[in-house]
Structure 1
Amino acid sequence: MVVLPVRFERSPRLHPMLSEDTFPVGTRVVVQGKRGPEVATVRGEPGQAKNNERYGAVLRAATPDDLTRWDDLHRTGEDLKWLLRARARERGLAVKLVAVEFTLDESLVTVSYSADERIELSGLVGEVRAHTTARVNFAAIGPREQAQMIGALGACGRENCSSTHLQDFAPVSIRMARDQQLPLNPEKLSGPCGRLLCCLQFEHTQYQDLLRDLPRKNAKVCHTGTGACGKVTKLHPLAGTVDVYSDQGMLLNVPAGELRRASDTEGKGGTGAGKGGADASS
């Protein structure tokens, strides 16, 4: 038995599945997952199973009949999704129907939805049962999962990371934006989902390393070359420089290595600059 990483259609996440056979990358296979049999695509080379992991199973390579049935179920799910959206509007329900997905044997239909508050969906359950004999499961998803399933363009002009390559949603904080010296503008820091951009975490550790070599914002410093002293007003981690508003009313851009704490310059003749570390932007 080997483990094959497979990907389902609405998510970039790779799911490890046990398989008796190996399949080339790109092969569409029928797998037995948590919901039941579904069609997925092999997206990696085979690996070894781990004793403490739980896996689904690759049942077989998808046949032409499997793929035809899967496409038919996909179209049925799309039609049912638009019908449910219309019925939800008629009932005045504040809900967004994101996806309707069948298992390959049509034993289960999963309706993914997003809502800001708890709502009663029993009326919509009846609408689904009027069009299929499958067991109905309504699954609430968050804003990030919604953007992942639907897809959208990010501020960079490319498709959002959550629907192309992200495997997990790591926590993102406003501190990451501060450490990267970004303007705290919610419109610029939010993704299509309305939450903080996932990409803020990508380079955060590098920025933390760079900030350790810079003085803290608002620190009193002196330039070792000119002797000019002032207050740090802005940090430029990538350039390794800081902006200093001098006591003479001038704005200077100075390499961090040429600065010393004002107290050290006055008392000890210039030893130590006072590193900012992760607190450089606080």
Structure 2
Amino acid sequence: MVVLPVRFERSPRLHAMLSEEPHAVGTRVVVQGKRGPEVATVRGEGQAPDPQGRYGAVLRGASTQDLARWEELHRQGEDLKWLLRARARERGLPVKIVAVEFTLDESLVTVSYSAEDRIELGSLIGELRGHTRARVNFAAVGPREQAQMIGTLGACGRENCSSTHLQEFAPVSIRMARDQQLPLNPEKLSGPCGRLLCCLQFEHTQYLDLLAGLPRKNARVCHEGSGACGKVTKLHPLAGTVDVQTDQGLLTGIPAAELTRAPEAPGKGRRPEADA
């Protein structure tokens, strides 16, 4: 018995499946997923199973008949997706049908949809009844999951990370953009899904390490070479330098090693009771 990492069609996430025999990387297999039998692709070498692990099961290698059936169900799901989109527009339902997916035995059809508010979709079930006898399951997905399933291009010109390699959606905050000295422009910081770019988290820990060796923005510092003192106006973490605004003008690209903390003005920071 070996554990194989497999990937389903609409998600890059790897799922561990227990198999009685090894399968080569890139091989299509039929697995028993949470929804039922589905076709997946082997994406890694087999590993020894963990006695405490919980795994799905690889039923068999996908045959020519399995793949032909899977392709037919995929085409049927695409046709139903566009049908449901048209019916939703006719009924004025504020919903977007993202995907319609069948299990290999056609016992279940999952309709993934996106909507801002809770919405009643029972009227669309009748549309499906005329085309399939499968049990219908509606699954709401968020903006990131929608981009993952559909696939889009990012600002870098490549396919978005969520549909190529991300295994989970880690929290992303605007603080990450501030730490990386990026302009706080929503259009430049948002991905096709309308949420903050997932890639902001990729290098955040490195930026935190670089910022640890730099003075804070607006801190008072003095330049050892010129003796001029002023306020830090901008940080350059990758270069290890800062810009300093002094009374004489702006000093740019000053290495952090050449800066010292400016002495406090006389009486600054003293407590009133000390003066008394």
What is the TM-score with the length of structure 2 in the denominator?
A: 0.94
1:142-189 deviations in whole A, cap 9, x for unaligned? 000000000000000100000000000000010100000000110000
Residues 1:134 and 2:118 are matched in the alignment: no
Distance 1:86 1:52 in 2: 47
Structure 1: which amino acid aligns with 2:114? S
**Alpha-carbon separation, structure 1, partners of 2:95 and 2:53:** 36
Quote the offset at 1:52 in angstroms: 3.0
Q: Which residue of 2 aligns with 1:214?
A: 214
Q: Which residue of 2 aligns with 1:280?
A: none
Equivalent residue for 2:182?
A: 182
Secondary structure, aligned partner of 2:260: strand
> What is the SS of the residue equivalent to 1:128?
helix
Q: CA deviation at 1:247?
A: 1.8
- In 2, the alpha carbon distance for the partners of 1:250 and 1:185 equals 25
State the distance in 2 between where 1:253 and 1:141 align: 46
1:153 alignment partner AA: L
**Aligned Cα root-mean-square deviation (Å):** 1.2
- Per-residue deviation at 1:58? 0.3
Contact 1:7 1:13 in 2 (8 A): yes
Take 2:181 and 2:233, find their aligned partners in 1: how far apart are those partners? 11
Gapped regions of structure 1 (runs ≥ 5): 268-282
Which secondary structure does the structure 2 equivalent of 1:263 belong to? coil
Inter-partner Cα distance in structure 1 for 2:226 and 2:51: 65
Secondary structure class of the residue paired with 2:213 = coil
Task: Report how far residue 54 of structure 1 moved.
Answer: 1.6
Deviations 1:1-31 (A, max 9, x none): 1100000000111000000000000000000
What is the CA-CA distance between 1:51 and the residue it aligns to? Answer: 2.9
Describe the SS at the equivalent of 2:263: helix
Instruction: Tell me if the contact between 1:246 and 1:252 (Cα under 8 Å) persists in the aligned partners.
Output: no
Cα shift at 1:114: 0.3
Moved more, 86-95 or 41-50: 41-50
Counterpart-to-counterpart distance in 2, 1:69 and 1:3: 26
Please say if 1:32 is aligned against 2:43: no
One-letter identity of the residue aligned with 1:77? G
The one-character-per-residue Cα deviations of 1:234-259 (angstroms, maximum 9, x if unpaired) are 00000000010112233432001100
* Distance in 2 separating the partners of 1:48 and 1:175: 41
Match of 2:192, as an amino acid?
P
Q: Aligned equivalents of 1:199 and 1:250: distance in 2?
A: 33
Q: Supply the distance in 2 between the matched residues of 1:38 and 1:134 (Cα, whole angstroms).
A: 15
After superposition, residues 118-267 of structure 1 pair within 5 angstroms as 118-263=118-263
For residues 185 and 49 of structure 1, what CA distance do their matches in structure 2 show?
A: 47
Structure 2: 5+ residue runs without aligned partners? 267-276
Task: Answer yes or no: is the 8 Å Cα contact 2:114–2:140 preserved in 1.
Answer: yes
Distance 2:54 2:200 in 1: 32
Distance in 1 between residues matched to 2:2 and 2:42, nearest whole Å: 13
* Partner Cα separation in structure 2 for residue 48 and residue 114 of structure 1: 39
1:11 alignment partner, SS class: coil
CA distance in 2 between counterparts of 1:15 and 1:48 reads: 15
Any idea what the Cα deviations from partners look like across 1:81-121, whole Å, max 9, x if unmatched? Answer: 00000000000001000000000000000000000001110
CA contact (8 A) 1:146 1:193 kept: yes
Q: After the TM superposition, which parts of structure 1 deviate over 3 Å for at least 4 consecutive aligned residues?
A: none
Q: Matched residue of 1:252: which SS?
A: strand
Amino-acid identity (%): 80
Matching residue of 1:274: none
